Amino acid sequence: MDRPAGPDAHAVIRGLIRLGEALSSSQPLAERLTKVCEETAIAVGCDRSSIFVLKGNYFHATYNFGNPPDIAENFSRFKVRRDDGVIAEAIEARSFVRINTARTDPRTGNIADAARIDSIVIAPMFGDAFDPIGFMTAEFNEGFGYFDELSAEVVLGAARVAQGAMMTARERLKRERSGRVQRDLLEQLVFSEDRERRRISADIHDDSLQRVTALMHELEAASQRIEDEELKAALKNLADHAAEAARSLRDFVQDVHPLSVDTGGLVGAIDTLLRRVGAENGWDVELIDATTDDIPRTAVAVLYRIAKQAIENIELHAKAQAVTVRVAMRGQHVGVSVTDDGIGFDPDEVEHDRYGLLMMQERAEFADGMFELMSQPGSGTTVAASVPRV
């Protein structure tokens, strides 16, 4: 009996086009790979096609098309050892294995009898560094069936296409998991930092600040009881220094853990800071609130610290007359920008860690956000950062 002709070139081309369409769709991976099995079987004219995925030491039957009902019903139970002879042969060769006498071939006889397979092509699938991740099969059921060289090449090509889809999906899942881990870590760090700032703030407020305030009152009272004018003036001077120290401690307590962050969120905290520092420096200040939803605590903590550092830089270096802060949301991100009309500078000629720029950038990037610095001599400076809202 003559062997049946393999697929013609037109059938192969049509099959490859349909394979591309299947994998470029927006359907879930399982549906796309099942479609790959279907289009592969159609392209080579065989009865069925399957994909087995490596999990541990076994390749597990995962996707299929065309299996007889009794086999399809139990398909997910099938598994093949990683070191199975014919599978290991295909992996070692990094190419297909074509067997047109599957029932009598010692490599496949038992499986072929159980699954009622006459002919089979096995094509390995690889991940990074040619580590196997699965294999694809194309099969003829009971009855006469034959795979020629072209058919086997088509199956191998389909396996490579499916392999690419699987690796892309795995990389996407890895990135998503990495992103979740990073967000969880950021939240833990923000919580720990916030808790430590609260503790330091409370310790200073309840201990050091109270002691300095008490000392100030005692010095003031003592200066009132002493008649010696020179000594009275000295005590009054000490009381003034104590009062200044108390004010510095209060400012430090406010900077370490601003109550406005708890009560007014990001916009309220920046508004309080901007008005205070602006009044101390004679700036014209403006705060633009373009937010529409609540901002998560982690984003509040990151963006407030960046805005605070930027405002401190203006106070120390910019010689500015006006400062504008804008808080806005864009898509799934929330951002803050701080702009001054000061002397500006050339970013390429400034050590980023000198002005805390490196710390601001690292804060934004660790939160999976973005940081941007725009400045030039004589034209002011804008610092902008945005982070995800999730």
* Cβ pair 3, 141 in contact under 8 A: no
- Does residue 221 lie in a domain region? no
Please give the distance of CA 303 from its chain centroid, rounded to a whole number.
Answer: 18
How far apart CA 341 and CA 362 sit, in angstroms, is 25
> In percent, how much of the chain has pLDDT > 70?
83
Q: Same structural domain for residues 166 and 267?
A: no
Residue 23 lies inside a defined structural domain of this protein: yes
Whether residue 162 sits in one domain with residue 285:
no
Residue 366 lies in a domain: yes
Taking alpha carbons only, the member of 43, 129, 136 closest to residue 87 is: 136
DSSP category for residue 172 = H
Task: Kindly report, residue by residue over 259-308, the tens digit of the pLDDT.
Answer: 556 666 899 989 989 999 999 999 999 999 998 888 888 888 889 989 99
Query: Closest Cα to residue 360, out of 343, 344, 379, 381?
Result: 381
CATH number at residue 119: 3.30.450.40
The two tokens of residue 13 are 């081309």
Whether residue 304 lies inside any domain: the answer is: yes
Angle at 88 between CA 83 and CA 90, to 5 degrees: 160
Average pLDDT over residues 102-130: 86
Which among 168, 150, 170 has a CA at the least distance from the CA of 158? 150
Question: Are 135 and 268 in the same domain?
Answer: no
Query: Is residue 273 located within the same domain as residue 363?
Result: yes
Q: Are residues 128 and 30 in the same domain?
A: yes
Residue 52's pLDDT band, with cuts at 50, 70 and 90, is very high
> Do 146 and 288 belong together in one domain?
no
Which range is least confidently modeled, 109-113, 158-162, 178-182?
Answer: 178-182
Last residue of a domain, one of 176, 196, 218: 176
| Predicted pLDDT at 1 | 43
Q: Count CB neighbours of 130 within 10 A.
A: 9
Q: What is the pLDDT of residue 182?
A: 66
| CA dihedral (293, 294, 300, 304) positive or negative | positive
**Is residue 218 in a domain?**
no
87 touches 61 (CB < 8 A):
no
Cα pseudo-dihedral 34, 37, 41, 43, rounded to 10? 100
How many C-beta atoms surround the C-beta of residue 94 within 10 A?
11
Phi/psi at 335 (5° precision): -140, 165
Interacting residues of 6 by C-beta distance below 8 A, sequence separation 6+:
44, 45, 146, 147, 148, 149, 150, 151
Read off the CATH number of the domain in which 321 is found: 3.30.565.10
Q: Supply 360's token pair.
A: 């601001």
With respect to residue 206, please indicate whether it lies within any of the assigned structural domains: no
* 16 in the same domain as 164: yes
In tens, the pLDDT along 25-40 reads: 667 888 889 988 998 9
Per-residue pLDDT averaged across 216-238, rounded? 85
Each residue's pLDDT tens digit, 181-199 = 666 676 676 667 677 766 7
Strands of 225-307 (E only): list them: 284-290
Domain that holds residue 311: 258-390
Residue burial 240-273, b: 16+ Cβ < 10 Å; e: rest: eebbebbeebeeebbebbbebbeeebbbbbbbbb
How far apart, in whole angstroms, are the C-alpha atoms of residue 149 and residue 90?
15
Residues 124 and 266 in one domain: no
Range with top average pLDDT, 84-88, 105-109, 181-185, 347-351 = 84-88
pLDDT at residue 301 in the model: 86
Give, as one character, the DSSP assignment of residue 5: P
* 184 assigned to some structural domain: no
Residue 247 domain flag = no
Q: Is the pLDDT of residue 4 over 70?
A: no
Choose the weakest-confidence range: 188-192, 209-213, 234-238, 244-248.
188-192
Asked whether residue 149 falls in the same domain as residue 24, the answer is: yes
Which of 152, 176, 200 marks a domain boundary? 176
Number of domains composing the chain: 2
Q: Which of 72-86, 149-163, 225-239, 342-356 is predicted with the least confidence, judged by mean pLDDT?
A: 342-356
Angle made by CA atoms 316, 320, 321, in degrees to the nearest 5: 135
Q: Of 157, 176, 195, which residue sits at a domain end?
A: 176
168 and 269 fall within a common domain: no
173 versus 322: the higher-pLDDT residue is 322
Q: Write the pLDDT tens digit of every residue in 348-385.
A: 887 655 667 888 988 898 888 999 999 999 999 999 99
Residues 171, 48 share a domain: yes
Is residue 279 domain-shared with residue 380, that is, in the same domain?
A: yes
Higher pLDDT, 364 or 174: 364
Question: CA 279, CA 283: separation in Å to the nearest integer?
Answer: 6
